[in-house]
Amino acid sequence: MSRGATSGAANGETLEFMKTVSETPAITPTTLVSHLIETDLLILPVFENDDLADEAALDAATGGAVASARARGELTGKAFEVFITVAQGWRAGRVALVGAGARKDFSRDRLRRVTLTGSLAARQRRVKKVAVVQRPDTGLSARDAAQVMAEGVVLANFDGTAYKTTNPATVWIESAQVRVIGEAAEIVAGIERGRVLGECTNLARGLSNAPSNVLTPKAFAARAQEIATNAGLTVEILDESRIAELKMGLLLGVASGSQEPPRVVVLRYEPGNATPGPVLGLIGKGITFDTGGISLKPADLMDRMKDDMSGGAAVLCAMAAVARLGGSVRCVGVIPLTENMPGGRAFKPGDVLTSAEGKTVEVLNTDAEGRLVLGDALWYARTLGVTHLVDVATLTGACVVALGKSATGLFGRPDAWRDRVLRASERAGDRSWAMPLFDDYKELFKSEIADFANTGGRAGGAITGALFVQEFAGDLPWVHMDIAGTAWVEDAKPYQVKGATGVAVRTLAELALDTEGWAKV
Ligand code: BES
Ligand code: MN
Ligand code: ZN
């Protein structure tokens, strides 16, 4: 899916711009009962204390293997446990019973993760054909179930080791059947939405995983041009001279230490039958590498800062998804792109920068660069006539301290807008948690000589970061998603491989695809 051209890599590297990191399987609905589904691995969710009454023939077909695994405690239905067995007389080569936890806790996200768990287990076993069965009476609509099952299969078909040359050939799932009981048209629509959202999430993961010598600001812009054009979006790339004309002093300040020129990617989605009223402005932090600049980061784990453009990738890939799915809400995407490097021309602590909007910022720490580039980008989005703003950024280590790695920090105003984005994130399976924006915290980033300082100290660091960004949102409804903790996974889980997660792609897409109730926010 994502084989691109060789880029002008930063140091003359000929590393391929982006290797194939994902393949989309053919996904089809089926209405067959389990034993008639022809596949290599049949994925069946099992709840805790599940009598499997709707699959009564299974135990006998497995020669009692299911009952005895139960008795041994090997099959308990605990979330994401996997038990694989052979079922005699079934058309499926094998059956994977995947723990789905307590029935009362079942949700769209649980089904997505159960599907991911089964599908990743399939790939590990070099299985290319799977089928996923939705159990009856789970409370999910057929459309939703089909969507998250499709998402799960596609998200499992992602390879984070794309730059190895010694890997045995990656095994991809080539086809997946999903069995959901319900109206065929609903199921087909759900599958299509899930497939596209899964693909676009994978696209963002590939971008975040790409090393910074491969994915420079210029290379990101070129890739954005390609992805956006293919999806039917309008793209405009602002180069360094246009950025200077616009007087984006915050972005230029951050970019000044790098040999790589900055870029701003501007995306537009203008559907023919647009929902009247809203123009959604999506802004994504696009630091292709964050060394910290003159306020240099320690060497430990600095390599991870290649993913400091994950917010930008989320905006790009979400907009591609919205266009491909024919959403009806107009969207504008703005992605400020630069490296943050030390060097003879780098901006320095104590420098005062002037934003395009005219506000001045005293730089107390060059490592607080994300809020600077976002400031100019939010202003630019507002000049393009957006009515609602969402920015996405790997903004603060403090957010990781506050919420850990399982939830995105979500800030915003008014409450109705914030809650709408929260609901979209819930639908998307991008866990988010509302954080406060009390004015009191603004004290913390006052400057003696400029309008603001770019840091507010350690206490409440995620909140002061958000409040700084808010200064550039004008009077518009605005939400800030701090994805510093959620963009990257260090410890693999049964449903999640290491590396970039593609967080916020599906949140932004679900938000834009929701056509109801815009008048109330
Ligand atoms: N990109 C980092 C934030 C980050 C940290 C993302 C860890 C992912 C994991 C951001 O630019 C940064 O350096 N923030 C500083 C802000 C501080 C200097 C006010 C931080 O969090 O330390
Ligand atoms: Mn930084
Ligand atoms: Zn950063």
pLDDT at residue 17, as a whole number: 52
Whether the CB of 349 sits within 6 Å of ligand 1 = no
* Domain-embedded: residue 19: no
The answer to whether 520 is a known catalytic residue is no
Whether the CB of 339 sits within 6 Å of ligand 1 = no
Whether 434 and 314 share a structural domain: yes
Task: Point out the catalytic residue in the list 223, 371, 418, 506.
Answer: 371
Pocket probe for ligand 1: among 396, 445, 447, 454, the residue whose CB has the most ligand atoms within 8 Å is 396
d(CA 506, CA 512): 10
Whether the CB of 208 sits within 6 Å of ligand 1 = no
pLDDT at residue 133, as a whole number: 98
291 CA distance to ligand 2 middle (Å) = 7
Q: How many domains does the chain have?
A: 2
* Domain-embedded: residue 13: no
Contact, 290 vs 258, CB < 8 A? Answer: no
DSSP 224: H
Contact, 347 vs 254, CB < 8 A? Answer: yes
Mean pLDDT of the chain: 95
Q: Considering every ligand atom, which ligand is closest to the CA of 288?
A: 3
pLDDT band at 186 (very low <50, low <70, confident <90, very high): very high
* Domain-embedded: residue 494: yes
Task: Point out the catalytic residue in the list 91, 103, 268, 297.
Answer: 297
Note the helical H segments in 157-216.
Answer: 184-209
80: CATH = 3.40.220.10
336 CA distance to ligand 2 middle (Å) = 14
- pLDDT tops 50 at residue 229: yes
Whether the CB of 394 sits within 6 Å of ligand 1 = yes
Those residues whose beta carbon sits under 5 angstroms from the ion ligand 3 are 287, 290, 308, 370
Whether 413 and 356 share a structural domain: yes
Whether the CB of 311 sits within 6 Å of ligand 1 = no
pLDDT band at 22 (very low <50, low <70, confident <90, very high): confident
Whether 181 and 249 share a structural domain: no
Whether the CB of 368 sits within 6 Å of ligand 1 = yes
Whether the CB of 392 sits within 6 Å of ligand 1 = no
> What would the pLDDT profile of 431-462 be if each residue is shown by its tens digit?
999 999 999 999 999 999 999 999 999 999 99
Contact, 485 vs 418, CB < 8 A? Answer: no
> What would the pLDDT profile of 234-278 be if each residue is shown by its tens digit?
999 999 999 999 999 999 999 999 999 999 999 999 999 899 999
Contact, 8 vs 24, CB < 8 A? Answer: no
| 14 alpha carbon, distance to own chain's centre | 28
d(CA 389, CA 281): 5
Whether 512 and 458 share a structural domain: yes
Residue nearest to atom 5 of ligand 1 (CA): 397
Closest ligand 1 atom to 297 CA: 13
pLDDT at residue 16, as a whole number: 55
> What would the pLDDT profile of 72-98 be if each residue is shown by its tens digit?
999 999 999 999 999 999 999 999 999
Residue 163, sorted as left (phi over 0), alpha (psi -120 to 50) or beta, turns out to be alpha
- pLDDT tops 60 at residue 15: no
* Domain-embedded: residue 370: yes
Whether 371 and 509 share a structural domain: yes
369 CA distance to ligand 2 middle (Å) = 5
Q: Of 142, 175, 201, which closes a domain?
A: 201
> What would the pLDDT profile of 137-148 be if each residue is shown by its tens digit?
999 999 999 999
* Domain-embedded: residue 36: yes
Whether 132 and 272 share a structural domain: no
- pLDDT tops 60 at residue 2: no
Whether 194 and 244 share a structural domain: no
Closest ligand 1 atom to 398 CA: 21
Closest ligand 1 atom to 397 CA: 21
Q: Of 201, 224, 249, which closes a domain?
A: 201
515 CA distance to ligand 2 middle (Å) = 36
Whether 384 and 415 share a structural domain: yes
d(CA 64, CA 394): 50
- pLDDT tops 50 at residue 66: yes
Whether 179 and 261 share a structural domain: no
Whether the CB of 369 sits within 6 Å of ligand 1 = yes
* Domain-embedded: residue 9: no
Pocket probe for ligand 1: among 288, 361, 362, 395, the residue whose CB has the most ligand atoms within 8 Å is 395
244: CATH = 3.40.630.10
Residues 6+ apart with CB under 8 A from 121: 41, 82, 84, 96, 98, 494
d(CA 170, CA 21): 10
Residue nearest to atom 3 of ligand 1 (CA): 396
* Domain-embedded: residue 420: yes
pLDDT at residue 99, as a whole number: 98
The answer to whether 413 is a known catalytic residue is no
Whether the CB of 370 sits within 6 Å of ligand 1 = yes
Whether the CB of 357 sits within 6 Å of ligand 1 = no
Whether the CB of 308 sits within 6 Å of ligand 1 = yes
Whether 196 and 218 share a structural domain: no
Whether 193 and 261 share a structural domain: no
Pocket probe for ligand 1: among 251, 296, 309, 367, the residue whose CB has the most ligand atoms within 8 Å is 367
Looking up tokens 């939705």 gives 134
* Domain-embedded: residue 69: yes
Whether 159 and 272 share a structural domain: no
d(CA 292, CA 258): 12
For residues 492-514, average pLDDT? 98
Q: Which domain holds residue 474?
A: 210-520
Q: Of 201, 223, 255, which closes a domain?
A: 201
